[in-house]
Amino acid sequence: MRQFDFMGKRRLAFIGSGVLLLVSLITLLFQQLNLGLDFTGGTLVEVRYAAAPALDAVRQALEGAGFQDVSVQTFGSANEVLVRLQQAFDPGVGEQVTQILRQTGENVDLVRAEFVGAQVGGQLRDQSGLGMLVALGVVMLYVAFRFQYKFAFGALLALVHDVIIVLGVFSLFQLDFDLTVLAAILAVIGYSLNDTIIVYDRIRENIRKSRTDDMASIFNDAINQTLSRTLATSGTTLLVLLALLLLGGDMIHNFALALIIGVGIGTFSSVYVASALLIVLKLQREDLIPAKKENAEEEELP
Protein backbone atom coordinates (compact mmCIF):
# COMPACT_ATOMS: atom_id res chain seq x y z
CA MET A 1 0.00 0.00 0.00
CA ARG A 2 1.30 3.44 -0.90
CA GLN A 3 2.55 5.42 2.07
CA PHE A 4 1.71 9.15 2.23
CA ASP A 5 3.94 11.55 4.14
CA PHE A 6 1.20 13.30 6.10
CA MET A 7 3.46 14.63 8.82
CA GLY A 8 5.86 16.07 6.27
CA LYS A 9 3.08 18.45 5.17
CA ARG A 10 1.96 19.35 8.66
CA ARG A 11 3.34 22.92 8.54
CA LEU A 12 1.35 23.69 5.40
CA ALA A 13 -1.71 22.15 7.06
CA PHE A 14 -1.18 24.31 10.16
CA ILE A 15 -1.04 27.42 7.95
CA GLY A 16 -4.24 26.41 6.16
CA SER A 17 -6.03 25.70 9.43
CA GLY A 18 -4.79 28.98 10.87
CA VAL A 19 -6.18 30.94 7.92
CA LEU A 20 -9.56 29.19 8.15
CA LEU A 21 -9.73 29.79 11.91
CA LEU A 22 -8.76 33.46 11.53
CA VAL A 23 -11.40 34.09 8.85
CA SER A 24 -14.02 32.24 10.91
CA LEU A 25 -13.24 34.17 14.10
CA ILE A 26 -13.29 37.52 12.27
CA THR A 27 -16.68 36.81 10.68
CA LEU A 28 -18.10 35.55 13.98
CA LEU A 29 -16.81 38.66 15.77
CA PHE A 30 -17.95 41.30 13.28
CA GLN A 31 -20.79 39.66 11.32
CA GLN A 32 -22.00 37.14 13.89
CA LEU A 33 -24.45 34.32 13.26
CA ASN A 34 -27.79 34.73 11.52
CA LEU A 35 -29.84 33.25 14.35
CA GLY A 36 -33.14 31.66 13.43
CA LEU A 37 -36.46 32.04 15.22
CA ASP A 38 -35.55 29.22 17.58
CA PHE A 39 -33.12 31.65 19.23
CA THR A 40 -34.40 35.16 18.42
CA GLY A 41 -38.15 34.66 18.73
CA GLY A 42 -40.77 35.53 16.11
CA THR A 43 -43.81 34.25 14.25
CA LEU A 44 -44.32 31.09 12.21
CA VAL A 45 -47.11 30.93 9.65
CA GLU A 46 -47.76 27.72 7.71
CA VAL A 47 -49.95 27.90 4.60
CA ARG A 48 -51.06 25.30 2.05
CA TYR A 49 -51.25 25.99 -1.70
CA ALA A 50 -53.30 24.08 -4.25
CA ALA A 51 -50.18 23.86 -6.42
CA ALA A 52 -46.50 24.26 -5.60
CA PRO A 53 -45.72 28.01 -5.52
CA ALA A 54 -42.54 29.91 -6.42
CA LEU A 55 -40.91 30.77 -3.10
CA ASP A 56 -39.37 33.96 -4.44
CA ALA A 57 -42.82 35.21 -5.44
CA VAL A 58 -44.17 34.42 -1.96
CA ARG A 59 -41.30 36.32 -0.33
CA GLN A 60 -41.67 39.31 -2.63
CA ALA A 61 -45.42 39.50 -2.02
CA LEU A 62 -44.94 39.61 1.76
CA GLU A 63 -42.06 42.08 1.62
CA GLY A 64 -44.11 44.27 -0.70
CA ALA A 65 -46.87 44.28 1.93
CA GLY A 66 -44.47 45.68 4.54
CA PHE A 67 -43.17 42.56 6.29
CA GLN A 68 -39.42 42.57 7.02
CA ASP A 69 -36.89 39.78 7.58
CA VAL A 70 -39.14 37.26 5.83
CA SER A 71 -37.92 33.67 5.48
CA VAL A 72 -39.89 31.33 3.20
CA GLN A 73 -39.38 27.60 2.69
CA THR A 74 -41.33 24.48 1.84
CA PHE A 75 -42.46 22.35 4.75
CA GLY A 76 -43.23 18.66 4.32
CA SER A 77 -44.32 18.92 0.70
CA ALA A 78 -43.89 21.37 -2.18
CA ASN A 79 -47.46 22.65 -1.64
CA GLU A 80 -46.96 23.62 2.00
CA VAL A 81 -44.97 26.76 2.78
CA LEU A 82 -43.57 27.88 6.13
CA VAL A 83 -43.21 31.64 6.55
CA ARG A 84 -40.91 32.94 9.32
CA LEU A 85 -41.40 36.52 10.48
CA GLN A 86 -39.04 38.13 12.99
CA GLN A 87 -41.66 40.28 14.66
CA ALA A 88 -43.99 40.28 17.64
CA PHE A 89 -46.95 37.94 17.43
CA ASP A 90 -50.31 39.32 16.32
CA PRO A 91 -53.36 37.02 16.62
CA GLY A 92 -54.45 38.06 13.14
CA VAL A 93 -51.09 37.73 11.44
CA GLY A 94 -51.94 34.29 10.03
CA GLU A 95 -55.04 35.55 8.24
CA GLN A 96 -53.19 38.68 7.17
CA VAL A 97 -50.44 36.66 5.52
CA THR A 98 -52.99 34.36 3.89
CA GLN A 99 -54.97 37.29 2.45
CA ILE A 100 -51.81 38.86 1.01
CA LEU A 101 -50.84 35.60 -0.69
CA ARG A 102 -54.37 35.13 -2.06
CA GLN A 103 -54.08 38.48 -3.80
CA THR A 104 -51.50 36.91 -6.12
CA GLY A 105 -54.29 34.76 -7.54
CA GLU A 106 -53.34 31.58 -5.71
CA ASN A 107 -55.63 29.31 -3.69
CA VAL A 108 -54.08 29.51 -0.22
CA ASP A 109 -55.30 28.05 3.11
CA LEU A 110 -53.97 28.85 6.57
CA VAL A 111 -52.69 25.78 8.44
CA ARG A 112 -51.30 27.35 11.64
CA ALA A 113 -49.77 30.48 13.12
CA GLU A 114 -47.46 30.21 16.13
CA PHE A 115 -45.17 32.44 18.15
CA VAL A 116 -41.71 31.62 19.49
CA GLY A 117 -40.89 33.93 22.37
CA ALA A 118 -37.53 35.66 22.63
CA GLN A 119 -37.20 34.46 26.23
CA VAL A 120 -37.55 30.84 25.10
CA GLY A 121 -35.02 31.51 22.35
CA GLY A 122 -32.58 32.97 24.86
CA GLN A 123 -32.93 29.92 27.11
CA LEU A 124 -32.32 27.62 24.15
CA ARG A 125 -29.22 29.59 23.18
CA ASP A 126 -27.78 29.52 26.71
CA GLN A 127 -28.59 25.85 27.31
CA SER A 128 -27.21 24.79 23.94
CA GLY A 129 -23.97 26.68 24.55
CA LEU A 130 -23.64 25.12 27.99
CA GLY A 131 -24.36 21.68 26.54
CA MET A 132 -21.61 22.11 23.96
CA LEU A 133 -19.09 23.14 26.63
CA VAL A 134 -20.05 20.16 28.78
CA ALA A 135 -19.66 17.84 25.79
CA LEU A 136 -16.16 19.19 25.09
CA GLY A 137 -15.19 18.85 28.76
CA VAL A 138 -16.38 15.24 28.94
CA VAL A 139 -14.50 14.46 25.73
CA MET A 140 -11.27 15.85 27.17
CA LEU A 141 -11.64 13.82 30.37
CA TYR A 142 -12.42 10.64 28.42
CA VAL A 143 -9.41 10.95 26.11
CA ALA A 144 -7.10 11.86 29.01
CA PHE A 145 -8.29 8.79 30.95
CA ARG A 146 -8.08 6.41 27.99
CA PHE A 147 -4.81 7.69 26.52
CA GLN A 148 -2.76 10.52 28.05
CA TYR A 149 -3.24 14.23 28.74
CA LYS A 150 -1.37 15.28 25.57
CA PHE A 151 -3.81 13.21 23.53
CA ALA A 152 -6.69 14.94 25.33
CA PHE A 153 -5.29 18.39 24.55
CA GLY A 154 -4.86 17.52 20.88
CA ALA A 155 -8.37 16.05 20.62
CA LEU A 156 -9.94 19.07 22.33
CA LEU A 157 -8.19 21.54 20.04
CA ALA A 158 -9.28 19.51 17.02
CA LEU A 159 -12.92 19.59 18.12
CA VAL A 160 -12.81 23.33 18.84
CA HIS A 161 -11.15 23.80 15.42
CA ASP A 162 -14.00 21.92 13.69
CA VAL A 163 -16.79 23.76 15.52
CA ILE A 164 -15.33 27.23 14.90
CA ILE A 165 -14.89 26.60 11.17
CA VAL A 166 -18.46 25.30 10.76
CA LEU A 167 -19.79 28.32 12.66
CA GLY A 168 -17.55 30.56 10.57
CA VAL A 169 -19.02 29.25 7.31
CA PHE A 170 -22.56 29.90 8.57
CA SER A 171 -21.56 33.38 9.72
CA LEU A 172 -19.69 34.24 6.51
CA PHE A 173 -22.61 33.33 4.23
CA GLN A 174 -25.28 34.39 6.76
CA LEU A 175 -26.99 31.01 6.65
CA ASP A 176 -29.88 30.49 9.03
CA PHE A 177 -28.58 29.06 12.33
CA ASP A 178 -31.29 27.20 14.22
CA LEU A 179 -31.63 24.17 16.47
CA THR A 180 -31.20 21.72 13.61
CA VAL A 181 -27.82 23.25 12.79
CA LEU A 182 -26.87 23.12 16.46
CA ALA A 183 -27.76 19.42 16.48
CA ALA A 184 -25.55 18.98 13.42
CA ILE A 185 -22.61 20.62 15.21
CA LEU A 186 -23.02 18.26 18.16
CA ALA A 187 -23.07 15.37 15.68
CA VAL A 188 -19.87 16.75 14.11
CA ILE A 189 -18.21 16.66 17.54
CA GLY A 190 -19.13 12.99 17.91
CA TYR A 191 -18.02 12.11 14.38
CA SER A 192 -14.72 13.94 14.61
CA LEU A 193 -13.97 12.43 18.01
CA ASN A 194 -14.66 8.92 16.74
CA ASP A 195 -12.26 9.41 13.82
CA THR A 196 -9.63 10.90 16.14
CA ILE A 197 -9.90 8.00 18.60
CA ILE A 198 -9.32 5.48 15.78
CA VAL A 199 -6.11 7.27 14.74
CA TYR A 200 -5.00 7.77 18.34
CA ASP A 201 -5.48 4.10 19.13
CA ARG A 202 -3.26 3.06 16.23
CA ILE A 203 -0.64 5.68 17.15
CA ARG A 204 -0.48 4.38 20.71
CA GLU A 205 -0.24 0.79 19.51
CA ASN A 206 2.57 1.62 17.07
CA ILE A 207 4.51 3.58 19.68
CA ARG A 208 4.41 0.64 22.05
CA LYS A 209 5.52 -1.84 19.37
CA SER A 210 8.16 0.34 17.75
CA ARG A 211 11.74 0.78 18.96
CA THR A 212 12.31 4.04 17.10
CA ASP A 213 11.86 7.50 18.56
CA ASP A 214 10.93 9.08 15.21
CA MET A 215 7.39 10.17 16.11
CA ALA A 216 6.69 11.58 12.64
CA SER A 217 7.42 8.19 11.06
CA ILE A 218 5.28 6.37 13.63
CA PHE A 219 2.40 8.80 13.08
CA ASN A 220 2.64 8.42 9.30
CA ASP A 221 2.42 4.64 9.62
CA ALA A 222 -0.59 4.87 11.94
CA ILE A 223 -2.48 7.32 9.71
CA ASN A 224 -1.76 5.30 6.56
CA GLN A 225 -2.92 2.11 8.28
CA THR A 226 -6.27 3.70 9.19
CA LEU A 227 -6.61 5.71 5.95
CA SER A 228 -8.77 3.20 4.08
CA ARG A 229 -11.17 2.95 7.01
CA THR A 230 -11.33 6.76 7.30
CA LEU A 231 -11.99 7.29 3.60
CA ALA A 232 -14.63 4.56 3.48
CA THR A 233 -16.48 5.97 6.49
CA SER A 234 -16.24 9.58 5.35
CA GLY A 235 -17.16 8.73 1.76
CA THR A 236 -20.30 6.77 2.59
CA THR A 237 -21.36 9.39 5.15
CA LEU A 238 -20.93 12.20 2.63
CA LEU A 239 -22.99 10.31 0.03
CA VAL A 240 -25.92 10.12 2.45
CA LEU A 241 -25.52 13.77 3.44
CA LEU A 242 -25.40 14.89 -0.18
CA ALA A 243 -28.65 13.03 -0.80
CA LEU A 244 -30.21 14.83 2.18
CA LEU A 245 -28.86 18.16 0.98
CA LEU A 246 -30.22 17.78 -2.55
CA LEU A 247 -33.43 15.86 -1.91
CA GLY A 248 -34.31 16.43 1.74
CA GLY A 249 -36.03 19.78 1.35
CA ASP A 250 -35.42 23.17 2.92
CA MET A 251 -36.15 22.08 6.48
CA ILE A 252 -32.99 19.96 6.72
CA HIS A 253 -30.90 21.75 4.08
CA ASN A 254 -28.72 23.63 6.57
CA PHE A 255 -28.56 20.57 8.84
CA ALA A 256 -27.09 18.50 6.01
CA LEU A 257 -24.79 21.33 4.93
CA ALA A 258 -23.37 21.73 8.44
CA LEU A 259 -22.70 18.00 8.63
CA ILE A 260 -21.00 17.94 5.22
CA ILE A 261 -18.68 20.75 6.25
CA GLY A 262 -18.10 19.13 9.63
CA VAL A 263 -17.31 15.68 8.22
CA GLY A 264 -14.80 17.17 5.77
CA ILE A 265 -13.11 19.37 8.36
CA GLY A 266 -13.29 16.61 11.00
CA THR A 267 -11.48 14.14 8.74
CA PHE A 268 -8.79 16.75 8.05
CA SER A 269 -8.40 17.67 11.73
CA SER A 270 -8.03 14.04 12.82
CA VAL A 271 -4.78 13.95 10.86
CA TYR A 272 -3.43 17.48 10.83
CA VAL A 273 -4.70 18.88 14.12
CA ALA A 274 -5.30 16.10 16.62
CA SER A 275 -2.37 13.96 15.47
CA ALA A 276 0.13 16.58 14.28
CA LEU A 277 -0.28 18.55 17.52
CA LEU A 278 1.16 15.58 19.42
CA ILE A 279 4.48 16.29 17.71
CA VAL A 280 4.24 19.95 18.72
CA LEU A 281 3.49 18.80 22.28
CA LYS A 282 6.63 16.58 22.08
CA LEU A 283 4.92 13.27 22.74
CA GLN A 284 7.58 10.64 23.64
CA ARG A 285 7.57 6.88 24.05
CA GLU A 286 8.12 7.44 27.78
CA ASP A 287 4.71 9.14 27.99
CA LEU A 288 3.08 5.80 27.21
CA ILE A 289 5.74 3.33 28.37
CA PRO A 290 7.30 4.05 31.77
CA ALA A 291 11.10 4.06 31.68
CA LYS A 292 11.40 1.52 34.52
CA LYS A 293 9.23 -1.00 32.75
CA GLU A 294 11.22 -0.62 29.53
CA ASN A 295 14.55 -1.06 31.39
CA ALA A 296 13.24 -4.13 33.16
CA GLU A 297 12.33 -5.72 29.83
CA GLU A 298 15.83 -5.02 28.50
CA GLU A 299 17.42 -6.67 31.56
CA GLU A 300 15.41 -9.82 30.99
CA LEU A 301 16.79 -10.21 27.47
CA PRO A 302 19.73 -12.71 27.23
Report whether 120 contacts 39 (CB < 8 A): no
Quick: pLDDT tens for 5-56. 898 899 999 999 999 999 999 999 998 888 877 777 778 888 999 888 888 8
Report whether 59 contacts 200 (CB < 8 A): no
Beta strands in 94-227 (DSSP E): 108-116, 176-177
Q: The domain 42-116 is classified under which CATH number: 3.30.70.100, 3.60.15.10, 3.30.420.40, 3.30.200.20?
A: 3.30.70.100
pLDDT value of position 119? 54
C-alpha to C-alpha distance for 236 and 240, rounded to whole angstroms:
7
pLDDT value of position 20? 95
Positions at the binding site for ATP: 292
Report whether 153 contacts 277 (CB < 8 A): yes
Average pLDDT of the chain is 83
Positions at the binding site: 292
C-alpha to C-alpha distance for 163 and 144, rounded to whole angstroms:
20
Q: What is the pTM of this model?
A: 0.79
Judged against a pLDDT cut of 80, whether residue 120 lies above it is answered with no
Q: Domain 9-34+121-287 is of which CATH architecture? A: Up-down Bundle (1.20)
Mean pLDDT check: name the lowest of 65-69, 88-92, 122-126, 186-190. 122-126
**Side chain identity at residue 24, one-letter code:** S
Judged against a pLDDT cut of 70, whether residue 2 lies above it is answered with no
The candidate with the shortest Cα–Cα distance to 125, out of 89, 179, 163, 176, is: 179
Would you list the domain boundaries of the chain? 9-34+121-287, 42-116
Judged against a pLDDT cut of 70, whether residue 292 lies above it is answered with no
